[in-house]
């Protein structure tokens, strides 16, 4: 055990610890709400610990920067509530367990990916062994995955009725966070973690100081630099949401798939980092359309019957709630969600039957990564992702399908897609990433007319893009 663990506080001085990981926000954060409530009930102070690990998956400078921009703003909001935020560099499990002897209880938010679940399970086990109560609170899905369904769902069509039947109960607007009754004297918590690797938010004078310290200490890949128009943080997410509601929501249903226009909300990076909650987004959309939560199930179910704002509201909530929570269902119930084995059997069988079909083009990772294929639309999509950190949704589908078509081995195509997606998309390494990639291979889809290379897995081509959209407008954006 490291030396600082011996610095156990008096029982009277124990704290409520909220280990913040997935829900990197102050607003609409049920884990934070619970921690404040517990601290006030027990008349104890509380502390929030945020750990920054090195070398997380494909995460690189653009992801860390976006995350730190958001964390800075969250720290400022927590200051108003007088809740101290301790930012620590290093391995999460070890950092949480080092603080555990000082805790009357530990609250954690929720994560659906393997590493997030393993970390939570290990921390819970350690705390149980120490007799410290530990609570995991749903902060990602609007309805917790296991409440919706006890199994991996076949497709949106099978998840939707289950989710919609209970959704209104979960669309409750939380009350704003209350002030802490007892605040923590930072001096009592000094040196619990090594000074070099941790900073109290209050000790940092500005975002640059946080960036210099955290980014300077970490050794992750810094070759993928910034250059995007996306800035992290709750206020930027709200600003984007407001602009979306006022300027684009009306036409979302008809135009959000068109890559030549900009009718998506662009909220996925902020949702991915938990800088804004899907529940808060839902409430803002409902209030803009004058709708009550009880109307949502029928609206989504009968979305084809509506037009204008209502059709768009239905279409947007279908994506934000049904599709997003289908991704969580996939990652929660399928332990192989990030491997080729997760592809449904019918799709693997038909793809493998066509594995030796002649391919007109074959490209290496370098050609793909450098957007140097023969296809200007594919190249533009890759450039959009590399330059901005976010590719248009429709182009993500086309991009993935073409990687399958232009790669000799299916498994190579699968992992190459994951590599490029998680390296360049700001919203990468998300349940939506693994589900989107698996979708390109037939997951959550049905068999279509048989074709070369794809068999009965859905196929996409450039002529289809040109028929549906103004692709010159998309190319002009690159
Ligand atoms: C190959 C491939 C890779 C993908 N990789 C990612 C990824 O790394 N991260 C990611 O968040 N999404 C991914 N998606 C899903 C989808 O493309 C994005 O969620 C969407 O483009 C985000 O843009 P937006 O916020 O402007 O979407 P909007 O259309 O404004 O939708 C609002 C929100 O709804 C959710 N949503 C929208 N479309 C989908 C979908 N198809 N599946 C699940 N949820 C959805 C997202 O949370 C999104 O932010 C991928 C899809 C494919 C086909």
Average pLDDT over every residue of 192-218: 89
Distance in angstroms (rounded) separating the CA atoms of residues 165 and 107: 29
* pLDDT beyond 70 at 234: yes
**Residue 50 host element (H or E):** strand 46-52
Ligand 1 and 138: CB distance under 6 A: no
Whether residue 6 has pLDDT greater than 70: no
Contact 401, 457 (CB under 8 A): no
Q: Label residue 130 by pLDDT band (50, 70, 90).
A: very high
Query: Is residue 79 lining ligand 1, measured as CB closer than 6 Å?
Result: no
The helix/strand/coil state of 45 is coil
Output the average pLDDT for the chain. 93
Higher pLDDT, residue 383 or 218: 383
pLDDT tier for residue 5 given thresholds of 50, 70 and 90: very low
User: What average pLDDT does the segment 104-129 reach?
Assistant: 97
User: Could you tell me the sign of the dihedral formed by the alpha carbons of 388, 206, 270, 237, in that order?
Assistant: negative
Nearest CA to ligand 1 atom 50: 436
Architecture of domain 234-333: Alpha Horseshoe (1.25)
Positions of CATH 1.10.579.10 in the chain? 340-477
pLDDT digits (tens, 9 = 90+) for 431-471: 999 999 999 999 999 999 999 999 999 999 999 999 999 99
- Nearest CA among 396, 352, 130 for reference residue 259: 396
| Domain 3-140+193-217, CATH | 3.40.50.620
141 SS3 class: coil
pLDDT of the residue at 176: 79
Across the range 62-82, mean pLDDT stands at 95
Q: Is the dihedral of CA 297, 302, 305, 307 positive or negative?
A: positive
- CA-to-CA distance for 330 and 340, rounded, in angstroms? 14
Mean pLDDT computed over 250-256:
96
Choosing from 63, 320, 393, 458 the residue with most ligand 1 atoms within 8 A of its CB, the one to mutate for a pocket test is 393
In this prediction, residues 158-175 reach a mean pLDDT of 95
Mean pLDDT, range 310-331, rounded to an integer: 98
Cβ partners under 8 Å of residue 165, min gap 6: 297
CATH number attached to the domain at 340-477: 1.10.579.10
pLDDT classification of 183: cutoffs 50, 70, 90: confident
Locate the ligand 1 atom nearest the alpha carbon of residue 439 and give its number: 53
Continuous segment of H or E residues that includes residue 339 = none
Q: How far is the CA of 266 from the centre of ligand 1 (A)?
A: 9
Does position 10 have pLDDT exceeding 90, yes or no?
no
Q: What is the pLDDT of residue 464?
A: 98
What is the arrangement of strands in the sheet containing 134-136, beginning at the earlier edge strand? 134-136, 103-108, 15-20, 46-52, 85-89, 198-200
CA distance 222 to 292: 46
Nearest CA to ligand 1 atom 38: 319
Q: Which residues contact 346 (CB under 8 A, 6 or more apart)?
A: 442, 447, 456
3-class SS string, 227-244:
CCCCCCCHHHHHHHHHHH
Q: How far is the CA of 231 from the centre of ligand 1 (A)?
A: 18
The predicted-structure confidence for 260-301, as pLDDT tens digits, reads as follows 999 999 999 999 999 999 999 999 999 999 999 999 999 999
* Residue-level pLDDT at 190: 67
Q: What is the reported pTM?
A: 0.96
- How far apart, in whole angstroms, are the C-alpha atoms of residue 17 and residue 90? 18
pLDDT value of residue 228 = 61
Residue ranges of the chain that CATH labels 3.40.50.620: 3-140+193-217
CA of 427 to the centre of ligand 1 (A): 8
Q: From CA 322, how far away is CA 148, in angstroms rounded?
A: 11
pLDDT at 332 over 90: yes
- Specify which residues 47 forms β-bridges with: 17
Average the pLDDT over 183-204 and give the result. 79
Q: What is the pLDDT of residues 375-429, one digit of tens each?
A: 999 999 999 999 999 999 999 999 999 999 999 999 999 999 999 999 999 999 9
Give me ligand 1 centre to Cα 419, in Å: 17
- The CB of 384 under 6 Å from ligand 1? The reply is no
Rounded-to-integer distance, Cα 15 and Cα 105, Å: 7
Residue 7: what pLDDT?
47
Q: How confident is the model at residue 220 (pLDDT cuts 50, 70, 90)?
A: confident
CA proximity to 407, closest of 370, 457, 373: 373
* pLDDT for 3: 36
């Amino acid at each position: 055990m490291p030396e600082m663990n011996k610095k156990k506080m008096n029982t009277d001085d124990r704290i409520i610890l909220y280990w913040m990981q997935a829900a990197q926000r102050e607003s609409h954060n049920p884990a934070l709400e619970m921690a404040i409530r517990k601290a006030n009930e027990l008349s104890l102070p509380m502390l929030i610990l945020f750990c920054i690990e090195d070398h997380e998956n494909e995460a690189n400078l653009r992801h860390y920067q976006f995350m730190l921009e958001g964390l800075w703003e969250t720290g400022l909001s927590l200051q108003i509530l007088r809740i101290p935020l301790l930012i620590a560099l290093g391995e999460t499990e070890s950092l949480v367990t080092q603080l555990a002897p000082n805790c009357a209880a530990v609250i954690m938010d929720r994560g659906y990916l393997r590493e997030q679940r393993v970390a939570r399970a290990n921390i819970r086990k350690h705390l149980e062994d120490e007799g410290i109560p530990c609570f995991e609170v749903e902060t990602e899905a609007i309805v917790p995955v296991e409440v919706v369904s006890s199994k991996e769902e076949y497709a949106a069509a099978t998840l939707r009725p289950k989710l919609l039947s209970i959704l209104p109960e979960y669309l409750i607007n939380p009350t704003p966070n209350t002030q802490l009754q007892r605040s923590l004297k930072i001096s009592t918590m000094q040196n619990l973690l090594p000074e070099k690797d941790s900073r109290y938010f209050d000790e940092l004078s500005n975002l640059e100081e946080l960036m210099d310290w955290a980014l300077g200490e970490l050794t992750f890949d810094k070759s993928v630099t910034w250059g995007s128009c996306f800035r992290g943080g709750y206020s930027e997410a709200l600003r984007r949401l407001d602009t979306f509601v006022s300027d684009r929501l009306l036409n979302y249903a008809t135009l959000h798939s068109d890559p030549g226009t900009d009718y998506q909300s662009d909220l996925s990076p902020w949702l991915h980092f938990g800088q804004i909650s899907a529940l808060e987004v839902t409430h803002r959309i409902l209030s803009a359309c004058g709708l009550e939560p009880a109307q949502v199930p029928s609206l989504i179910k009968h979305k084809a019957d509506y037009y204008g704002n209502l059709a768009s509201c239905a279409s947007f909530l279908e994506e934000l709630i049904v599709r997003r929570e289908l991704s969580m269902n996939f990652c929660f119930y399928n332990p192989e969600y990030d491997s080729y084995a997760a592809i449904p059997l019918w799709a693997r069988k038909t793809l493998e039957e066509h594995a030796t079909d002649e391919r007109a083009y074959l490209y290496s990772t370098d050609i793909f990564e450098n957007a140097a294929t023969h296809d200007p639309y594919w190249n533009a999509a890759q450039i959009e992702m590399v330059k901005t950190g976010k590719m248009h949704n429709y182009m993500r589908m086309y991009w993935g399908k073409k990687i399958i078509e232009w790669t000799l081995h299916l498994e190579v195509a699968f992992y190459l897609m994951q590599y490029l997606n998680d390296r360049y998309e700001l919203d990468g390494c998300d349940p939506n990433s693994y589900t989107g990639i698996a979708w390109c291979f037939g997951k959550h889809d049905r068999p279509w007319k048989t074709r070369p290379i794809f068999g009965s897995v859905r196929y996409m081509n450039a002529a289809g893009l040109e028929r549906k959209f103004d692709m010159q407008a998309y190319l002009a954006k690159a």
